[in-house]
Every structure is written in structure tokens, then in C-alpha cells.
Amino acid sequence: MIDKISSATSTPLAPLEFSETLTSWQKTYGRNDLPWQQDVTPYRVLVSELMLQQTQVTTVIPYFKRWLQHFPTVKALADASEDEVMALWQGLGYYSRARNLHKAAKFVVQELNGQLPENAEELRDVPGVGPYTAGAISSFAFNKPAAIVDGNVKRLFCRYFGIEGDIASAKVNKTIWSYAERYTPTFDNRRYAQALLDLGATVCTPRSPDCQQCPLKTSCNALATHRVDVLPEKKAKKKTPTRSGYFLLDINDDGVMLTQRSGNGIWPRLWCLPEILEPLETAPIHGRFKHVFSHYKLEATVFSLPADQSGQRVPIEQLDNYGLPAPIRKYLNTLCT
Ligand code: SF4
């Protein structure tokens, strides 16, 4: 189907024409009613951008709304305890983002007088704010001409400009950033940045991009050269390794025994069933669960056994007040239903 678009050329539009094409497409076809696009403030953009790292928009929306109800300002978040922050984040995964967001809020309140800077360079000084997030805050919160490059933009640019090489390599990353900077418009960058993300998420999708509906179809290199299916190039993925984990379930009428994990390893600082290093030959197995992390799969076995008393016994009805890893919460929920 896509090969039938005979008018495609492999010459990209000039920056101004490119940004005008995208912004006018965004007005009609883009996403303009996301919660963080309403009542835009730098804090709301910061929260949404950290939540959106590695997570789909539809998953983030309820978390974002709940977060803003609990922590409506950067000061409210800075004043919150770590347990409150982790409890609200639970289920979203990649918990370092919650800790970074908390650190960022404290930094903004303590070092920046409660104000996030407008400029992407200065935003990089805020903990947890990398190049993409800095560009996104500068673009979305302040409408400044800052380049943004996330997974959507990388894919779109590789195809549109015909960029070859492993998309995860430093070389390709540098090339993409240089296009991103050259093509960032000096005005209305908020809409342009949103257009890039929207086009990548809804039209130039990883699989089966809808080139017929794409505003860039007449000048897209990948389309003109029949390489939509091969760009961006990716190195073959290594098989995800599997690791075993062993946990203790000590539950009675007073609640379940939990321990707070250390700051290292998986689920740092979250409350969890006590973990042991080796399987127990003699203890009865209560159940098993699996969880997929970005770098490995966990196959967990849960033993029924009294844990030592160094943890905290938490009444079941109070579990929502604790930051628990999603698979542990899910496991415990199955016991209560
Ligand atoms: S959707 Fe198709 S035409 Fe549009 S940029 Fe992606 S590959 Fe090119």
C-alpha cells in the first residue's frame, strides 16, 4: 500500500516548511486535551514528563490526576515524605523516576526559589532532568525553542531523513539531535514539539506506520526509498535473562510482615515481603509470581514462614499507604479477594 505513493521524494523539507507542516497538522489531528496540556505550569509539565518516560499516555493519565490532587504544587511535593511519594507512584514502575521527581522538587524549592528555569541548559541542573526532559519543559511550559528527542522523535527522524545505523548508537543519536536542533522553530515550539510526539505516537508508529495519513509523506526519505520497514535500524536484542527470587509470607490477623528495602538493587526503598537469598528446602511454598524488568525476568517463589521481627507488620487495609512494588501488591491482593 505505501509503495503506491509515487510522488514521495527523498529530499526533506527545509526547517521552516517542515515545522509549519507539522504544526498545522497538529492543530487538527494532534492531541490537545491531555490533562497536562490544560492549565500548563512548569511543575505540571515536569510531573507529566517524568511519568511519561517509559510509560504510555493512557496509563499515565490517572496517575497524573491523582498526583496533582495530592501534590498540587512543587512545594507540596518537596514537603512530602518519601513514603507518601512512593505510595502514590506504586504501579507506575521505574521507581527511580519518583525519587528523582521528589529530589527535583526539593531542589527547585531549596535552590531555585520554587521556580523552574525556562532555559533547557539551566533545567539540566535539576536532578532527574536529562536532555529530553529539559527540552520538553522548556518547550511545553515556556514555549521556548528547545529541541526535544525521545523515542518517537528518533524513529520519525530516522525514517524522514533516512538516517542509517543502529538507533541506539551514540553516532546516530548525535545525528538525530543535530537535525532536532536545526529543525526546531524559533516560534510556536510548544505546538511543534507536541506535533513531533503526536506524529511519532499516532502515525509514524513503530509497526505499520500510517504513511497515507502522514503530512510528511511527499518528502519522506524512508517512504521514497521503500525503507519504512527497515528504518530505524536496530541491533538484534539479546535474550532477556531469567533470575530467581525468594520471598517470605508471614501473615496473620494483625497484618503482613513487610520490610523496607535498601536503596540499592531492585525496588529501592519500597516496602516488600522479606526477601531471602536461597530457596528453603523445608518451608511450604505458598505461591509463585513472575515479573519482567527492563533487563531480566524475575521468577519468584513465596514461602509461608514466620519472618524475623525486624520488619513491620502492616494491617492489610493499610497497605495502600505504603509504597509496594507492583508484583508484590498484586500478589497480596490475590490473598485478600
Ligand atoms: S509515517 Fe511514513 S511517511 Fe510519515 S514520516 Fe513516518 S515513514 Fe515517513
Task: DSSP for 192-217, please give it.
Answer: HHHHHHHHHHHTS-SSS--GGG-TTG
Q: Report residues whose beta carbon is within 6 angstroms of any ligand 1 atom.
A: 156, 159-160, 203-204, 209, 211, 214, 216-217, 220, 222-223, 228
Nearest CA to ligand 1 atom 6: 204
What is the rounded CA–CA span in Å between residue 86 and residue 322?
Answer: 7
| Local confidence pLDDT in tens for the 337 residues of the chain | 444 444 567 789 999 999 999 999 999 999 999 999 999 999 999 999 999 988 889 999 999 999 999 999 999 999 999 999 999 998 888 888 999 999 999 999 999 999 999 999 999 999 989 999 999 999 999 999 999 999 999 999 999 999 999 999 999 999 999 999 999 999 999 999 999 999 999 999 999 999 999 999 999 999 999 999 999 998 877 788 999 999 999 999 999 999 999 888 888 889 999 999 888 888 889 999 999 887 889 999 999 988 777 789 999 989 988 999 999 999 998 887 6
CA distances for 126 relative to 63, 110, 129, 190, 245, angstroms: 22, 11, 6, 21, 35
Domain boundaries, the chain: 8-224, 242-336
Nearest CA to ligand 1 atom 3: 217
Query: Would you please indicate which residues are annotated as catalytic (active-site) residues?
Result: 49
What's the start-to-end Cα distance of the chain, in Å? Answer: 50
Closest ligand 1 atom, residue 8 Cα: 3
Contact 321, 87 (CB under 8 A): yes
Could you tell me which of 115, 122, 128 has the C-alpha nearest to residue 85?
128
Centroid of ligand 1 to alpha carbon of 214 (angstroms): 6
Closest ligand 1 atom, residue 217 Cα: 3
| DSSP letter, residue 236 | P
What is the rounded CA–CA span in Å between residue 149 and residue 155?
Answer: 10
Centroid of ligand 1 to alpha carbon of 183 (angstroms): 17
Contact 88, 59 (CB under 8 A): no
Closest ligand 1 atom, residue 228 Cα: 7
Contact 68, 236 (CB under 8 A): no
Centroid of ligand 1 to alpha carbon of 222 (angstroms): 7
C-alpha torsion angle, residues 122, 124, 129, 132 (rounded to 10)? 100
Could you tell me which of 135, 156, 185 has the C-alpha nearest to residue 17?
185
Which grid coordinates are listed for 329? 501488591
Centroid of ligand 1 to alpha carbon of 5 (angstroms): 11
Which grid coordinates are listed for 103? 529530589
Which grid coordinates are listed for 49? 514528563
- Cβ atoms within 10 Å, residue 134: 24
CATH 3.90.79.10 fits 242-336, yes or no: yes
What is the rounded CA–CA span in Å between residue 17 and residue 36?
Answer: 28
| SS3 label, residue 298 | strand
**Per-residue confidence (pLDDT) for residue 337, from 0 to 100:** 62
What is the rounded CA–CA span in Å between residue 113 and residue 274?
Answer: 41
Class of domain 8-224: mainly alpha
Which grid coordinates are listed for 302? 513465596
Tell me the Cα Rg of the chain.
23
Work out the percent of the chain whose per-residue pLDDT is above 70: 97
**Per-residue confidence (pLDDT) for residue 280, from 0 to 100:** 86
203, 213, 230, 233: which to mutate for ligand 1, most atoms within 8 A of CB? 203
- Cβ atoms within 10 Å, residue 79: 13
Nearest CA to ligand 1 atom 8: 220
Centroid of ligand 1 to alpha carbon of 301 (angstroms): 46
157, 216, 233: which to mutate for ligand 1, most atoms within 8 A of CB? 216
